[in-house]
A and B are shown apart, each in its own frame.
Chain A
Amino acid sequence: EVLLVQSGAEVKKPGATVRISCKLSGYTFIDYYIHWVQQAPGKGLEWMGLVNPENGDTLYAENFQGRVTITADTSLDTAYMDLYSLTSEDTAVYFCATSLPSTKTPFDYWGQGTLVTVSS
């Protein structure tokens, strides 16, 4: 069974950085891309970026470029998403999701989501 388990909820102050982890089990880590998707309260889904765990290549959405870093640790089968310079608008649930190793495939498995609250 494919399982993506994310780290727990975070509360951060404006200007801080948050790191969320996503541990994968049930399949070969390097065989899939890992994506990160933001869901702000009462809003829809927005793709943030992806990492190819096989070689560490990344691709970021323009809206998050320069404020997000996505990495993968193949020794731990874990992907990470760092989001910098947080503001209240970053308060959201963040999901990791997998896809086949192409940008032109859907997201087949999802983590449970991590709530990040940004508040002074």
Chain B
Amino acid sequence: DIVMTQSPDSLAVSLGERATINCKSSQSVLYDSHNKDYLAWYQQKPGHPPKLLFYWASTRASGVPARFSGGGSATDFTLTISSLQAEDVAVYYCHQYYTTPGSFGQGTKLEIK
């Protein structure tokens, strides 16, 4: 099974500053014939279900603000919030759906400094 490892486990960033979360997979999730990375990002606020932010590593889901961006390929991925807002406080998960079962990272808790 593919193991997804996020870093850091927690992150405190000042309002308006940049936040970057990393996700590393134990093997490539790039499907060469499609040239797509089978990697998604979710945001989970306390007491709520996860919400899809990105799929194919960098395709923004409907309604996701432009300050969020997803990048990377193969085994190394990033989720960046260019200017942190108070409503971005949440736990963020990466998720590979290249194999079945898919697997999630352990989560990164993002807080305001």
Task: Give the interface of A toward B (CB within 8 A).
Answer: 44-47, 59, 61-62, 95, 97, 99, 103-113
Contacts and interface: CB of A to CB of B under 8 A. Distances in A.
Nearest to A110: B49
B50 to A, nearest CB: 6
A109 B40 CA distance: 13
A108 B61 contact: yes
Given A59-B100, A106-B55, A111 B105 contact: no
B49 A44 contact: no
Contact of A103 (B40, B100, B104): B100
Nearest to B105: A44
Contact of B93 (A44, A108, A113): A44
B51 interface: yes
Interface size class of B (residues with CB under 8 A): 20 to 34
A98 B18 CA distance: 31
Interface of B: 31, 38, 40, 42, 48-52, 55, 61, 93, 95, 97-98, 100-107
Task: Please name the 6 residue pairs, one residue from A and one from B, whose CB atoms are nearest each other, closest first.
Answer: A110-B49, A106-B40, A45-B104, A103-B100, A106-B55, A61-B101
What is the predominant secondary structure among interface residues of chain A facing chain B? Answer: loop
A79 B107 CA distance: 27
A107 B52 contact: yes
Contacts of B52: 106-109
Contacts of A106: 40, 52, 55, 95, 97
Given A104-B38, A105-B97, A106-B95, A46 B49 contact: no
A104 B51 CA distance: 18
5 contacts: A47-B102, A97-B50, A103-B97, A106-B95, A110-B49
Nearest to B53: A106
Given A45-B95, A104-B100, A111-B49, 11 more contacts: A44-B93, A45-B50, A47-B102, A59-B100, A62-B101, A95-B50, A97-B50, A99-B97, A106-B40, A112-B48, A112-B49
B49 A113 contact: yes
Contacts of B42: 107
Nearest to B34: A104
B3 to A, nearest CB: 12
